[in-house]
Amino acid sequence: MNNTVNSLSVNIAGVQLRNPVIAASGTFGYGREYNSIIDISLLGGICTKGLTLTPRTGNTGIRVWETPSGMMNSIGLENPGIQSFLENDLPYMRKLGPAIIANLSGAEADEYVKGAVLLNESSVDMIELNISCPNVKLGGMAFGLDPGTAAALVAAVKRVCTRKPLMIKLSPNAPSLAAVALSCIRAGADALSLVNTFKAMGIDTVSRKPIFDNISAGLSGPAIKPIALRMVWELFDTLEEMKMHVPIIGIGGITCANDALEFLMAGADAIQVGSATFANPHAMIEIINGIHDYLIDNKMPTVTEISIRTKIEG
Ligand SMILES: Cc1cc2nc3c(=O)[nH]c(=O)nc-3n(C[C@H](O)[C@H](O)[C@H](O)COP(=O)(O)O)c2cc1C
């Protein structure tokens, strides 16, 4: 692969990734569990589990549930807290090779801002602002549904996020994803990632109770791919119409190179792989190799050429 990394390389808001394949937040931990299974250095980037200022134990009860062509999760942002991440996980992650993207969450704006201050001074390459987690009662998705609320948070975080590009992770549950996206860009977003999970639920018909203590959970996996793809396609149109160009990172149900190619054709500059890694830890490596083969087969020198969308310059 060494002589091919240049052609696969993409630049996302000033951060050079060796390829456009990034491990999605919450599905790759901090890299430790997968390090003996795959060559992590081959990945383009890793998004950390959602980090909050103080440690969180996450939700009680059942946390993951398989569904036809997907899964639901209700983890509730279990994480060791940002200080512990910086001391115990980031030094380990830095040695792995891929770009490190810190996924930042919080219960209230002040918590996000304080977290961003710490991450801004750290060696992470980028911050992904999670305004789309459906599994917490306070914060998370509550910030990502309304354009005004999202913009106020993004502006507050951007003020302290002086040294790192700020990517905003959008919710497919927003009444208008386009309106939230545009307001985030106006407030200073350097890139957009979409989508987080779809709010969903299940009922155990034997106990006659909802499966999750939190009632609802987040749906991910192949079941959401066609919807996520459509959202990326439409967001590309919106950004072109408004002449507001920021990189788009496509997420949702990507399991193979063909899925990734669809997102790259739809206008995504890079992609994230989440649930697929649980079923097949080698999925991301297979996707990188598949994109590489596609470039060779189609005589394309760079990943950018995969897009079938027309960019209006200016
Ligand atoms: C178990 C699990 C935990 C997740 N935790 C987070 C998280 O902490 N922060 C976040 O922004 N997204 C989180 N997500 C959402 C994923 O990063 C991704 O956006 C979503 O699963 C859709 O991609 P997929 O269909 O490839 O899994 C989580 C998803 C799963 C399945």
Question: What confidence score (pLDDT) does residue 314 get?
Answer: 58
Which of 268, 293, 8, 274 shows the shortest CA–CA distance to 132? 274
Rounded distance from Cα 47 to ligand 1 centre (Å): 10
Domains of the chain: 2-306 (3.20.20.70)
Q: Which residues line ligand 1 (CB under 6 A)?
A: 24-27, 49-50, 73, 75, 77, 103, 130, 133, 169, 196-197, 220-221, 224, 251-254, 273-276
What are the b/e assignments for 35-74, b being 16+ CB within 10 Å? eeebebebbbbbbbbbbbbeebeebeebbebeeeebbbbb
**pLDDT tens by residue, the chain, 314 residues:** 444 444 899 999 999 999 999 999 999 999 999 999 999 999 999 999 999 999 999 999 999 999 999 999 999 999 999 999 999 999 999 999 999 999 999 999 999 999 999 999 999 999 999 999 887 877 778 899 999 999 999 999 999 999 999 999 999 999 999 999 999 999 999 999 999 999 999 999 999 999 999 999 999 999 999 999 999 999 999 999 999 999 999 999 999 999 999 999 999 999 999 999 999 999 999 999 999 999 999 999 999 999 999 877 65
Rounded distance from Cα 3 to ligand 1 centre (Å): 32
